Amino acid sequence: MARQSRRAKLFVLPLTTAISTAMLSCSSNPREWRTNADIKICVDDLDKRVPDGDCSNPGDQHHRWYYINEGGYVPYPGYPVRSGSYQPNSAGGSYGPSAGGSDVATPESTRAGAITRGGFGESAEGHAAFGGVAGE
Amino acid sequence: MRRVSVRPRSGWQKKVESHGLIWHTVNGQPYWNESACYRFSARQIDEIEAATAELYRISMQGVQHVIDNNLFDQLGIPQFIVPLIVRAWNDEPPALNHGRFDLGYDGVTPPKLFEYNCDTPTCLLETAVVQWDWKEEVFPRADQFNSLHDNLLAKWKDIAPCLNSSVVHFTHFDDAAGEDTLTVTYMRDLASQAGLSSVGILIGDIGWNSTTRRFVDLANHPIDVLFHLYPWEWLINEPFALNIAKSADAMCWIEPAWKMVLSNKAILAVLWELFPNHPNLLPCSFETPSFDHVRKPFLGREGANISVVRNRQTVAETGGGYGEERWVYQALFNLPDFDGNRAVLGSWIVDGQPAGMGIREGDLITGNTARFVPHVLD
């Protein structure tokens, strides 16, 4: 029998909670923009953006740098990151702090050296409706 | 199987939102509907559970039959992706191997399969977490057919050591409602609990490095393991499709490519041919039958492009952008009518183990606005 007979469940869903809260609180305002340069931002344990100064304490285990390449999404402070990486692409030297808020148009296809983007996702555009798009 | 009225919890919207279900209301009407619930006997749950295990068993045989007899053309699957499907089937790469059987059930006769959603199944968060939380508050002494969260977590822990990286990328389309986003985020939480690191990336942001012949994330790091809430049939029809095979040796797709055989509704006709008169199947064919039936596109989703035909007359149909491929014709199952509400069971399975159930109510056709209604056992 696979059902769980009255056994308590422990749901540990920090990312789900953080992202749903962020999505609910920013329904009319953009919560992120796309950067036109390689940048680094500071994030906390829940992957939410915090002031860069929080990452300047070497002994702090609860904050770390998060690296976003050109074209990536940059969240406003308090909102979770969803693209990028905790490791810089190349030695970290070219990543500057975020300057904040200028919007950058979403490229349909971008090319940076040998890397091309935009080759997946077009099918979903024609099926956007209520609820999810790609589920079944 | 009974439908009973229940007083919704005070502030239920905030409560379900606290678990990530932010798409609980559409056009002013609840998608999450806790003003009612379904009650089942233990015998009925046993029957649903047994049917789920049996349908999984014959579904696996169905995939083997398609491969052995090279029926890919019949399913409309392009030949260039067939080697990848066959390889994924034979090699059995790490996978959750989860899915949701949509069943017709009247509480008396054996459950009947409508379709198997095993490529990008949704209703996940509401089934695994939200309805359990509702039960704990409203019917704390009752039981529920629901071990989905536990089974998925166990499966992530099971496959974690077998993956070629401890970093898993999770991709989806940036849907406005947040359903895809939060379903994938829930999976990220499960993977994190299993000791894996997760990186989110929108499907359109995935890059292709033509030098290394690898898919990469926004930091240009190679993607070793990719969980995708994005259908295989879309992936293989987009500009990056040919790159999937080029990078196959270095990359693990969750779920694997063989899932596209089962998420294709042509499998319903294949299964009926293989297992005629099976108690959990409805008659299904590739040709228009003489009996009352439902016409479904091979690759339809969310109840789109469905037609219900009674006495040779179309009595209900939905629009959408599917159906260019082909259709199957499945015998009409008369869903039980609970004061105008027709319930479809979504019975989950994780790697062969029945894992719980969610229920959605709609009209003749269960579309993507059908209401999710929780359940308990008597």
| In a domain? residue B324 | no
**Whole-number pLDDT of residue A10:** 80
Cβ contact (<8 Å) for A2 and B220?
no
Q: Choose from A120, A123, A125 for mutation: most chain B CBs within 10 A.
A: A120
Q: How far is A24 from chain B (nearest CA, A)?
A: 7
Residue in B201, B206, B229 closest to A134 by CB: B229
Task: For residue B213, name the pLDDT band (cuts at 50, 70, 90).
Answer: very high
| In a domain? residue B304 | no
Closest listed residue to residue B51, CA positions, set B124, B12, B109, B7: B109
**Whole-number pLDDT of residue A31:** 59
Cβ contact (<8 Å) for A119 and B356?
no
Cβ contact (<8 Å) for B205 and A83?
yes
Mean pLDDT (whole number) for B134-140: 97
Cβ contact (<8 Å) for B218 and A88?
no
**Whole-number pLDDT of residue A50:** 83
DSSP letter at B127 equals I
| In a domain? residue B255 | yes
| In a domain? residue B281 | no
pLDDT digits (tens, 9 = 90+) for A30-78: 456 667 677 888 888 888 888 888 888 878 888 899 888 877 777 777 7
HEC profile of B146-207: ECHHHHHHHHHHHHHHHCCCCEEEEEECCCCCCHHHHHHHHHHHHHHHCCCEEEEEEHHHCE
pLDDT digits (tens, 9 = 90+) for A92-129: 456 766 543 322 223 333 445 588 999 999 988 766 55
Strand intervals (E) in B19-97: 25-26, 29-30, 36-40
A70 and A94 Cβ atoms separated by less than 8 Å: no
**Whole-number pLDDT of residue B109:** 96
Residue in A1, A67, A117 closest to B219 by CB: A67
| In a domain? residue B205 | yes
Mean pLDDT (whole number) for B349-361: 97
| In a domain? residue B42 | yes
**Which residue bears the tokens 């899932």?**
B259
**Whole-number pLDDT of residue B48:** 98
Which amino acid type is present at position B113?
L
**What's the domain count of chain B?**
1
> What's the token pair of residue B140?
């704390």
Mean pLDDT (whole number) for B244-265: 97
Q: Residue B204 sits in which domain range? A: 2-264+335-377
ipTM, two decimals: 0.92
| In a domain? residue B303 | no
Q: How far is B10 from chain A (nearest CA, A)?
A: 19
Mean pLDDT (whole number) for B101-107: 97
Ramachandran category for residue A113: left, alpha or beta (phi over 0 → left; psi -120 to 50 → alpha): left
| In a domain? residue B239 | yes
pLDDT above 70 covers what percent of chain A? 63
